[in-house]
């Protein structure tokens, strides 16, 4: 049995150690405890884990025998956006890493590339061991899960983020575009969407007593994401202190990405006319929105910007 259920994960010392402002009340007062790039690298060395260590046998029983078919479908939606999302972001990090202006930033982003690969491997292993999908290999599983995504997801990943990363690939010296890409990647996709979804999915499984190995692994993924977001906050703060052009770049990227993020938080299988206060898995859309906005607000305060969401 893991130690994860005894305490709320975000209060654990290893989560707090990431210095993600969303986890720290001091961020409400605008106080910054952010680690520097080398400290973030060292934390990565201390926070290693292996997808091979997870035993999904109870998860398999839960999925097929305890979770009803209609609930399995709804759960599939939430999980597929993570699986496909992890694979998409892993592909975009290379050009972002190369465009970073300092060696210690590049080294940290190399560790993040390894993390995102491990997150894809985690989901792939969960799907394979639990028998969630029909497809027999990684490519097939990615295709099968892609059907559950909504149009805003594609716009956010395949246009807003990819267009900027493509520009960086052609011109690695374009720091304004790098700032925009980090804003979309680290603040919106990881900070607002991934960590919000993870929080409520983990909480629901813990309450229901379902999918123990998935929860154990997903908590490790979440801890990695907090470390990534802490890098993003540090980078955006440093850049915006360097030149107001970069502060404007953050605002520009936010204005583009926030409406798309709203859409991603509203699953495709929920009818448009359904009000935001209807509960799904014990949580309303309004609550997820509020959680994401609070996290963003804390991070923006520490970066030195006023919250816009």
Query: Is residue 186 a contact residue for Fe ion (CB under 5 A)?
Result: no
CB of 14 to Fe ion, least distance (A): 16
C-beta closer to Fe ion: residue 59 or 190? 190
For Fe ion, the binding residue among 119, 141, 167, 289 (CB under 5 A) is 119
Binding residues with Fe ion: total (CB under 5 A): 6
Residue 102, classified by CB atoms within 10 Å of its CB into exposed (0-12), middle (13-18) or buried (19+), is exposed
In the bound state with Fe ion, the residue whose beta carbon lies nearer, of 62 and 224, is 224
> Which one, 164 or 228, has the nearer CB to Fe ion?
228
- Interaction with Fe ion in 66-105: which residues (CB under 5 A)? 86
Q: Examine residue 227 and tell whether it contacts Fe ion (CB under 5 A).
A: no
Stretch that binds Fe ion, among 16-24, 147-155, 186-194, 259-267 (CB under 5 A): 186-194
Of the candidates 309, 302, 263, 303, the one whose C-alpha atom is nearest the C-alpha of residue 29 is: 302
Which residue, 18 or 247, has its beta carbon nearer to Fe ion?
18
SS3 at position 282: coil
Structure tokens at 164: 């900027």
The span from the CA of 160 to the CA of 180, in Å, is 10
Least distance to Fe ion, CB of residue 225, Å: 5
Rounded to whole angstroms, how far apart are CA atoms 101 and 10? Answer: 31
Q: Rounded distance, CA 217 to CA 229, Å?
A: 19
From residue 109, how far is each of 9, 224, 257, 272 by CA, in Å? 25, 12, 22, 38
Residue from the set 88, 223, 226, 228 that interacts with Fe ion by CB under 5 A: 228
CB of 188 to Fe ion, least distance (A): 12
Can residue 234 be called a binding residue for Fe ion (CB under 5 A)?
no
**Residue 30 C-beta: closest distance to Fe ion, Å:** 25
8 A C-beta contact, residue 80 and residue 146:
yes
CB within 8 Å of 205: residues ≥ 6 apart: 211, 214, 215
CB of 119 to Fe ion, least distance (A): 4
Contact residues toward Fe ion (CB under 5 A) are: 86, 116, 119, 190, 225, 228
């Amino acid at each position: 049995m893991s130690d994860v259920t005894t305490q709320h994960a975000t209060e654990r010392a290893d989560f707090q150690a990431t210095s993600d402002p969303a986890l720290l009340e001091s961020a409400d007062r605008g106080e910054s405890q952010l680690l520097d790039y080398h400290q973030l690298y060292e934390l990565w060395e201390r926070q290693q884990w292996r997808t091979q260590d997870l035993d999904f046998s109870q998860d398999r029983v839960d999925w097929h025998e305890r979770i009803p078919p209609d609930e399995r479908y709804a759960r599939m939606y939430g999980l597929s956006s993570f699986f496909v999302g992890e694979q998409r972001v892993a592909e975009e990090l290379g050009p972002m890493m190369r465009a970073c202006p300092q060696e210690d930033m590049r080294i940290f982003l190399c560790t993040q590339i390894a993390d995102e690969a491990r997150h894809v491997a985690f989901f792939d292993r969960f799907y394979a061991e639990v028998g969630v999908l029909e497809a027999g290999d990684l490519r097939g599983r990615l295709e099968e899960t892609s059907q559950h995504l909504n149009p805003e997801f594609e716009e956010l990943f395949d246009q807003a983020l990819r267009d900027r990363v493509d520009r960086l690939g052609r011109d690695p010296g374009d720091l304004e575009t790098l700032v925009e890409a980090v804003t979309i990647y680290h603040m919106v996709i990881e900070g607002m969407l991934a960590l919000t979804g993870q929080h409520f999915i983990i909480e629901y499984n813990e309450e229901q007593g379902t999918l123990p190995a998935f929860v154990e692994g997903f908590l490790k993924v979440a801890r990695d994401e907090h470390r990534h977001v802490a890098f993003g906050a540090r980078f955006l703060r440093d850049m915006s202190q360097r030149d107001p052009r970069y502060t404007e770049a953050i605002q520009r990227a936010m204005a583009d990405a926030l409406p798309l993020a709203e859409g991603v938080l509203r699953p495709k299988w929920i009818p448009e006319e359904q009000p935001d206060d209807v509960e799904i898995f014990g949580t309303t859309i309004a609550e997820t929105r509020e959680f994401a906005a609070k996290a963003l607000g804390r991070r923006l305060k520490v970066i030195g910007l006023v919250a816009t969401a």
